[in-house]
Homo-oligomer: A and B are copies of this chain.
Amino acid sequence: MSGDADRRHPVDGDIGQQEMAPSKKGAVLVDGIILNGPTTDAKAGEKFVEEACRLIMDEVVRKATDIHEKVCEWQSPEQLKQLLDLEMRDTGEPQDRLLELCQDVIRYSVKTNHPRFFNQLYAGLDYYSLVARFITEALNPSVYTYEVSPVFLLVEEAVLKKMIEFIGWKEGDGIFNPGGSVSNMYAMNLARYKYCPNIKEKGLSGLPRFVVFTSAESHYSMKKAASFLGIGAENVCFVETDGRGKMIPAELEKQVWQAREEGAAPFLVCATSGTTVLGAFDPLDEIADICERHGLWLHVDDLLKKCYSANASYLFQQDKFYDVSYDTGDKSIQCSRRPDAFKFWMIWKALGTLGLEERVNRALALSRYLVDEIKKREGFKLLMEPEYANICFWYIPPSLREMEEGPEFWAKLNLVAPAIKERMMKKGSLMLGYQPHRGKVNFFRQVVISPQVRREDMDFLLDEIDLLGRDM
């Protein structure tokens, strides 16, 4: 970039058409580019945003809670590629065409807000959080200095302060993370830092093998975190669980001793309050005692953190047993962060603590209702009595109901959930997850999260599975 004065020319007369014709008055050209005025047409842009907002209101927000609409409009990848115009071209598309594309994107996307979307650990539409997220996207902030993000930093501080109060601590610190996997990674990094602060500068070279303990039911992100942090996936020791999926404390202590005998360095126990599949809660008191005896850091992975809509008192009560003091100089692995605390703050403002608690209580009551219904109905069988909101169950079609529960029965039952899932996706009436788990053949897993879900949807869930599977 040299300062060639000849490059610049005052311009008169016609300047040709661009996205928007820049101002001609005193126009300045550099390398043939007119620099006066903006190139974007603000009026047209604003109109586009307004029209898109109307589309979003109609097609997403309104239809989201409408049980007469489909949960999904299933298409195979090949069909969907035909239906969508994905190609990016040299020249741009006009705004009406872009709106059509938006409509297609919405049409073929899964409606995770639908009251009958039960597929994952997120569901339902919270209007307040949605508004907070719209504001965030429009303001486009990045949370790292007070200078650029004054409001959102204070909001995050206020939310963390309130959460810390709830837990019952006098002081504390925290950070909002993009999700559970990243949170577990932070926890492992912090525990390692506490165990051996030198690692930050020197790395793991020359040190003994670091070992992490977690239950055999824990989230798979533990192994991922251990790989990423240079600890190694093999150095995550999975402690055996009882019949309900809870870590057995005696097994933990045995494994800690074994690791010590092998010359390894045990430094962390990741307990789980609400495992992914069974919703089991590890016995934190006993585990905390073992950690204290062996000088191990205790982290509790509460999966509820992931779902803002079921968050209040149950989250905080479960967390009071462990101490987390963050490495304040290195709070976030990314430099720029979205103000995730803001959406949570907005829900909290809108519902109040009591409103949040009511949502959790209702979700749990709906879970209890569903459990009772499963017990009453022919052809439905609980995997186990649920401890929390995860309800795992099989649907046994009429053809299998008289069969003995031997290898043939389980082999046949294993095929039922996937077949029903395919039918429900193609019909679009419902989405519900299934999986095998530690020797148990494919079963359905229901977790009530959405505030839009009603008793009628619980009935529908079972009716629809029966309807889709009764000829199998």
Contact = CB atoms under 8 A, between A and B. Distances in A.
B203 A88 contact: no
B150 A98 contact: no
Given A49-B131, A52-B135, A152-B109, A146 B89 contact: no
A207 B210 contact: no
Nearest to A73: B150
Contact of A49 (B61, B368, B456): B61
Nearest to A111: B139
A354 interface: yes
A56 B138 contact: yes
A437 interface: no
A391 to B, nearest CB: 9
Interface stretch (A30-38, A282-290, A462-470): A30-38
A201 B209 CA distance: 12
Given A49-B131, A80-B154, A131-B48, A39 B200 contact: no
A274 to B, nearest CB: 13
B108 A150 contact: yes
A419 interface: no
Interface string A326-353: 0000100111100000100110111111
A371 interface: yes
Contacts of A45: 125, 127
B355 A19 contact: yes
A75 interface: yes
B52 A53 contact: no
A77 B128 CA distance: 25
A102 B134 CA distance: 11
Among A39, A207, A221, A387, the one with the most B-chain Cβ atoms within 10 Å of its Cβ is A39
A404 interface: no
Interface stretch (A3-11, A294-302, A405-413): A3-11
A262 to B, nearest CB: 12
B201 A204 contact: no
Contacts of A120: 142, 148
Interface string A26-70: 001011010111111010011011101100110011101100000
Indicate how many identical chains form the complex: 2
Contacts of A164: none
Contact of A361 (B33, B88, B386): B33
A403 interface: no
A351 B206 CA distance: 53
Interface string A197-214: 001111111111110000
A365 B46 contact: no
Contact of A178 (B46, B105, B210, B334): B334
A155 interface: yes
Interface size class of A (residues with CB under 8 A): 35 or more
A261 to B, nearest CB: 16
Report whether over half of chain A's contact residues are helix, strand or loop; otherwise say mixed: helix
A216 interface: no
A216 to B, nearest CB: 18
A1 B367 contact: yes
Interface stretch (A224-232, A252-260, A316-324, A392-400): A224-232
B210 A31 contact: no
A443 interface: no
A24 interface: no
Interface string A99-117: 0011011101111110100
A62 B46 contact: yes
Contacts of A28: 369, 455
Contacts of A8: 369, 372
Contact of A148 (B89, B119, B181): B119
A49 B127 contact: yes
A122 B338 CA distance: 13
A227 B200 contact: yes
A269 B103 CA distance: 45
A377 interface: no
A329 to B, nearest CB: 10
Given A38-B115, A77-B154, A229-B229, 5 more contacts: A37-B456, A64-B138, A105-B135, A112-B141, A112-B142
